[in-house]
Chain A
């Protein structure tokens, strides 16, 4: 029971991280119908900016964790968002209305570029961050098993819930959210109705990147080790989560993230840790084949 509970906690924390990244995929797909292949790298850059900011603060002698955390969070969001914006501006905007594989190929190119860029500038070695937040709650059950909820896991869950709440409010209540929903329905019509489509798409990328930055920060804190390659796997898994939940749907992305995180935690807890990524990819394939619209997605009617 305790072991189960521990996997559950780990799975939820992991799922929240996937969910945050998945929102970026889902929003972009919803609005312009493309897979932003470089989104995993944006998450990786978020993790690196966090790492660098923590290191810089450490060198400057800022040692009070809450302050460091807030500063790093804001820095990571700001710089990663700018990356998201730039990627859209350079690699996708000129291709709007081009033939259908072009943006996808451009996105793959961007992904390779960003990955190599970080590999060259920061080195290929694994980076280890000194623990910033340690400790947590520990329970021991009757049979002597202990269950740990670390402060970081609590932080991940709380921050994700706050972000989700804020984000849902933005989509539901603000003019930006309205413009976004309009663009999701019909890009051309939204443009004709005076929605600044370019700006809305840019902001979608910025929001997606900001959430990915938070995910990157969380992962850096949670695992303590990152390298230039983390974006690839996290990206594919988060995309799986987005599809699982129903691509285009934001609660769906979060839900898909949770399902995937739990599946992965339980799989590595009970079966084999070597095949955990195989499990994630297999889930992706199965979902796409049998449930292509996902859990919360809208079925698509093919217009002939």
Chain B
């Protein structure tokens, strides 16, 4: 790939004048960049022709911000590069107390519906969060462990969602019957895509998976007879508690969940049930990933990420190994997709755009590729931030984009990049690493 070309590490600290000049130049560039796009908004005029609304105040603020930011940065860095290879204190902390953090998080997650502040809204947001965590863990197999950049992960999510919707609607299958079907179909989709393309180099793979994601979406839009086209599929059967539906008035011969337990009917039952269902699926994913990392296949994934040629020389079949990662990642995407379908009761191609893939990828990347707890933290930031400040919703993607760039510059391996070996020869304290 690219070779490392770096300026020699000259530690000449620039003078104040040079810094101000540099910052002024940056501000000027920012001004020119912002002036047309931010400064002149095209709006339709009274006669339908476009006219411009001027916002040069914003441009000035932006340029000033760049000036001050650049100046501050030059003082903060004192000529050092921004990138840092070493793991930060946060990731060392997390890796040291990771198990405790995990247990604490799990206890909190289990107890959440019992908390006094847990309104329907809180549980709903938490469910969304848990699903993103699950998607992140699934994609982590592909991107974090095997090092394959998959930009079309949402396609497998879509395959899972549509399989559930179609099987449940047309064949009357229940959630637990559909779940494995959806997983298997998604895994098959992963293998079908993966088989021809996995021998491509990393960046070609990224583009092909992106194309695949778009193909799936376009097919969903255009194949009206089966997928309902852009209108999607409505009235997808809702989940039941192992055959006991969450309805006020169950049908002939059925017993509803609240009758079974002698409870007052409440719509919260279903919400809480969905939350626990999501949590269970996510935990299964997590256990699976933690386990498989310590198995030969998991180590082979990581080895492939590090050096494919060396893997071949050790007798590892790269194509099959990558294919397993791809298929398993896809399978968890499929599981999450069927959960999504049963929760929403309605799906359409709108939910499966590239942006969704990008969000899941951002969760993996920001969290620290390969780190399970990192995924939780990143998903929490990405899902909760727009919830906390609703007006930030529009700016969410702006924040994502910027964060992906900055995290890559600051810590190319993600926030929690510290990696613990999957097995040790010496017990922890004595054989400390670097």
Contacts and interface: CB of A to CB of B under 8 A. Distances in A.
Interface of A: 32-35, 45, 48-49, 51-53, 55-56, 58-59, 75, 79, 82-83, 86, 90-91, 94-106, 108-123, 127-130, 187-188, 191, 197-198, 232, 236, 239-240, 243, 274-275, 277-278, 281-282, 284-285, 288-289, 292, 302, 304
A285 B196 contact: yes
Contacts of A239: 207
A187 B401 contact: no
B211 A108 contact: no
A95 B84 CA distance: 11
Interface residues of B, number: 69
Contacts of A277: 214, 218
A260 B135 CA distance: 35
Given A94-B81, A112-B401, A123-B41, 14 more contacts: A79-B32, A91-B409, A101-B149, A101-B369, A106-B409, A115-B397, A122-B42, A129-B50, A130-B50, A197-B5, A236-B207, A236-B211, A281-B212, A281-B214
A121 B38 contact: yes
A55 B4 contact: no
Contacts of B222: 274-275, 278
A100 B205 CA distance: 13
Contacts of A110: 401, 404-405
A115 to B, nearest CB: 8
Contact of A105 (B82, B218, B365): B365
A34 B37 contact: no
Interface in B333-391: 354-355, 358, 361-362, 365, 369
A45 B32 CA distance: 13
B87 interface: no
26 contacts: A33-B1, A48-B36, A55-B42, A59-B52, A79-B36, A82-B32, A94-B83, A96-B6, A104-B206, A109-B404, A109-B405, A112-B355, A113-B397, A117-B37, A120-B394, A123-B43, A127-B42, A128-B44, A130-B49, A274-B221, A275-B222, A281-B214, A281-B218, A282-B215, A288-B197, A289-B200
A232 B29 contact: no
B82 to A, nearest CB: 6
A128 B50 contact: yes
Given A55-B42, A275-B218, A288-B204, A232 B354 contact: yes
B415 to A, nearest CB: 13
